[in-house]
A and B are shown apart, each in its own frame.
Chain A
């Protein structure tokens, strides 16, 4: 099956899950994304992104025990799969090579 492209937001989610390690579940992922990107992230967008990544086999998940501050609802923790890591590495490499040598140029424009 052909590889479908990895969207920017999906890319960000994968990185957030990676950064959070064992603590990666819906709330912390959104916090991480919001803190680092400065954007407001909706729950729905995150839900869709996580679902797509799972469908593509880039993420796995497991449910943890319910907790009272969540209205006795379980948490779903995420983990990046081996395939996910590969894809991330590929995109990172592609991006790095595209960025190479551009930095001073961009700084000049960005002020």
Chain B
């Protein structure tokens, strides 16, 4: 005897809802009976699973069945003579579904047409939407803050070089914060990349990105904490070492403390020091200037010390008061700056402080690049539209007869037009779906190949609105060009078409010219894209061949942060670096080891001032980039010595300070004499120049600035320099970092080796932006080329098939094959020629947009313009040759018989 088991309640209720009341009882009863049987045979769990499966099938099938039922009924009614005159929504849907079925059948019959249309749509929609999505996330969406228009960034620059955008000195920041009334808030952060904190003990050592900030930093962004509070002036004034505080990012809070609700007031150990946690930020807060930050600590902002007039190290962001314009704020800043300059000696007269809208500053050069890429994507979309237009035009002209026949047999014109519309829509829908897939893949690929420097890339997501826009545009094109001729054919005399269409000679001059114009347009657009791609390729090649002054092969780099609590003393830090490098040198295959405060080809850094004596006994002043080095840095990177000596073990804290200049600095300051033995003054310390080394670029565009190299063994007391270690090996050694970790642990097991990277990777990152732009332009150009070739081929093939009888007559009358070919190719040449000419003019006008993106190439390079024109011409002729050959194979008798 089976006992009654209760069926899963939720599933039962679900099924009950799907059934009409009259049929509920018995169906649920059947299910219950079978459920019991299942439970007895295979256990309750299996029975439950089975029951849920049944519920899901009900959910999937029953609603559809009910709709289908109603549609079938409605369709029957419409088809019945004397059926309802007014068509309700259900009946209309039934009609559309019937059209869809018809359309699907016709689309499947014309696979060649369908697949070309779908591929074109997918490429056009996919490529464009992907790029638009990235652009939307990066450029078009305002900064993720309240009232983002009020945010500004403050830079220091010289009058001669206003675009220099240097960091601000601490003392100046304090003056601006106190005296400029236009700011609702002004905040400083110390964004130097050396700032980080090591966390040890929690499942192994790792490094956090820390950002020292002034009071009011979060308030400028209008960011409120999730827990606790933000930094006030008391934290800013307290020397950091005595009372370290920290505010955690939401991610750090969740990963490091497991979202501890009692974290406020608790202490966490960073860099071996206990930090009191003051607050936890919300997950939505992201600093677009400093990037991904794990923990914020107060920056010491007391006057004096590092906060002088000359030490430029702060990144400043501000928020303007609601009714204050940028110009008003700038005027107030200028007034304060004038007072500061008055206080300083005359040397600083030519400096100024400028406010920029934060948005422009963050998006900056990336914005130009993305706008160019967006333009390129737009062109691809246009070309795709032209292709779709061409395809649909050809198809609808070819179908004029079919339509005329159906109209003659009594099909209503509206009904026919509706059917054509649905047919276009079915193709568009398939193309749109393929485009959607292409977009999703495209956005992923874009983000995967996009440079890290692409600002705000983390905010990019696939945008459905944009997909809608691009899809609508291509679909609309298809509809307009597919429907217009069909509509036309319905209006003209049916007899005329029926008589004529068999001969195929009236495909219409109108249609021919339109299609020719479309091919020309396509060619013109392709020229613009190809010229753009050509310029970028040439620029990229120039960049790759550039001599940067560094040999990055077989050089490994990594960083080791020395916690200031335990390495407070310069001697300790110098000893660490020297003994660590000695240990590295014992690893087999290591040729040289050293360290530097900033790797070459990774940007400008530590731009300080230096003073030197001129031959007339006066002194002069200029800016110079300071690099602090330890060990065999120059040997590791292959930087050649020009004269004098390098740093040696005899240069210690207690020996006279010595420095090396690069060629640019030596030639600038000591053009007419040797720099060796000259004295320069940096930060109030006199340094004797003992050597000159070759220039090394600080970016991938081969910019060489003045540089001075100071030995860490003598300047390690200035601060806790975050040195990047560099090691040259005989051959590539992927295990070097592991071996270095062993050596590091032998010295101090609590230290962390982080950012392990080959030097080649460091340098590749700098060129990534150019590679990104180039890749996209290349893809766009290839797509454009393919689409344009398809266009030419398609139109000529079509024309040849339309002119079969004409060609047949010509050949019957004695025309030679070469003459026939010339007629067809001449047509291609005419359209292509017009297109190329228009395209070259357009490219000439547009290429200046690339000005900021290219290097070592003129944006109007005649070689590029010339080769694009010739190349496209050749492709057009090749694309046209196949149909031209086919034309000569026309059998005159066959053609005439058809007449």
Chain A interface residues (CB < 8 Å from chain B): 1, 25-27, 30, 42-45, 47-48, 51, 55, 63, 66, 68-71, 73-76
Contacts and interface: CB of A to CB of B under 8 A. Distances in A.
B29 A43 contact: no
A1 B29 CA distance: 35
A30 B60 CA distance: 19
A26 B7 contact: no
Interface string B1-20: 01010110000000000010
A48 B61 contact: yes
21 contacts: A26-B30, A30-B34, A42-B53, A43-B27, A43-B30, A43-B31, A43-B57, A43-B58, A44-B54, A44-B62, A47-B27, A63-B26, A66-B25, A66-B29, A69-B4, A69-B36, A71-B29, A73-B25, A73-B32, A74-B29, A75-B26
A27 B65 contact: no
* Chain B facing A: main interface SS: helix
Contacts of A1: 76
Contacts of B60: 44
B60 to A, nearest CB: 8
B23 interface: yes
A68 B4 CA distance: 7
A36 B60 CA distance: 26
Contacts of B7: 71
B57 A42 contact: yes
* Chain A facing B: main interface SS: helix
Contacts of A42: 53-54, 57
A30 B54 CA distance: 13
A44 B64 CA distance: 12
B62 A70 contact: no
A48 B20 CA distance: 12
A45 B61 contact: yes
B302 to A, nearest CB: 76
B23 A51 contact: yes
Given A44-B57, A44-B61, A70 B32 contact: yes
A73 B26 CA distance: 6
Nearest to B61: A44
Interface residues of B, number: 27
B27 A74 contact: no
B61 A74 contact: no
A74 B26 contact: yes
A26 B33 CA distance: 10
A63 B21 CA distance: 14
Contacts of B65: 48, 51
Contacts of A26: 26-27, 29-30
Q: Which of B23, B30, B53, B58 has the most CB of A within 10 A?
A: B30
Nearest to A47: B27
Q: Which of B25, B26, B76 has the most CB of A within 10 A?
A: B26
A51 B22 CA distance: 12
Interface of B: 2, 4, 6-7, 19, 23, 25-34, 36, 53-54, 57-58, 60-62, 65, 69, 76
Contacts of B34: 27, 30, 43
Nearest to A46: B30
Contacts of A71: 4, 6-7, 28-29, 32
Q: Which of A1, A51, A71 has the most CB of B within 10 A?
A: A71
B745 to A, nearest CB: 62
A73 B4 contact: no
B57 to A, nearest CB: 4
Contacts of B62: 44, 47-48
Given A43-B58, A44-B54, A73-B25, A27 B4 contact: no
B38 to A, nearest CB: 12
Nearest to B72: A4
A73 B29 contact: yes
Nearest to A67: B29
Contact of A63 (B25, B58, B61): B25
A44 B23 CA distance: 12
B29 A75 contact: yes
A48 B64 CA distance: 11
A8 to B, nearest CB: 16
A44 B58 contact: yes
Given A44-B54, A73-B32, A25 B4 contact: no
B620 to A, nearest CB: 90
Contacts of A27: 30, 33-34
A58 B25 CA distance: 22
A74 to B, nearest CB: 5
A25 to B, nearest CB: 7
A71 B7 CA distance: 9
A76 B61 contact: no
A74 B54 contact: no
Nearest to B60: A44
A58 B603 CA distance: 83
A34 B8 CA distance: 24
Contacts of B33: 27, 69-70
Contacts of B19: 47
Contacts of B31: 43
A71 B61 CA distance: 25
A68 B36 CA distance: 12
Q: Which of B19, B29, B54, B76 has the most CB of A within 10 A?
A: B29
A31 to B, nearest CB: 9
Given A69-B2, A69-B4, A76 B57 contact: no
B796 to A, nearest CB: 47
A89 B27 CA distance: 29
Contacts of A25: 26, 30
A1 B79 CA distance: 11
Contacts of A63: 25-26
A44 to B, nearest CB: 4
Given A44-B57, A66-B25, 10 more contacts: A27-B34, A42-B54, A43-B27, A43-B57, A48-B65, A70-B30, A71-B7, A73-B28, A74-B26, A75-B30
A70 B28 CA distance: 8
B57 A45 contact: yes
A83 B534 CA distance: 76
A56 B320 CA distance: 76
Contacts of A48: 61-62, 65
B707 to A, nearest CB: 77
Given A47-B23, A47-B62, A70 B57 contact: no
What 9 A-B pairs are tightest by C-beta distance, nearest first? A73-B29, A26-B30, A76-B26, A70-B29, A44-B57, A44-B58, A42-B57, A71-B32, A43-B54
B656 to A, nearest CB: 92
A70 B19 CA distance: 18
A55 B20 CA distance: 14
A103 to B, nearest CB: 34
Contacts of A55: 69
A73 B34 CA distance: 13
A43 B6 CA distance: 18
A51 to B, nearest CB: 7
A87 B76 CA distance: 21
Contacts of B61: 44-45, 48
B63 to A, nearest CB: 11
Contacts of B58: 43-44, 47
Contacts of A69: 2, 4, 32-33, 36
B48 to A, nearest CB: 15
A8 B65 CA distance: 17
A78 to B, nearest CB: 10
Nearest to B3: A69
Contacts of B6: 71
A103 B82 CA distance: 48
B74 to A, nearest CB: 14
A46 B33 CA distance: 15
Nearest to A42: B57
A5 to B, nearest CB: 12
A45 B69 CA distance: 15
A25 B32 CA distance: 13
A74 B4 CA distance: 15
B44 to A, nearest CB: 16
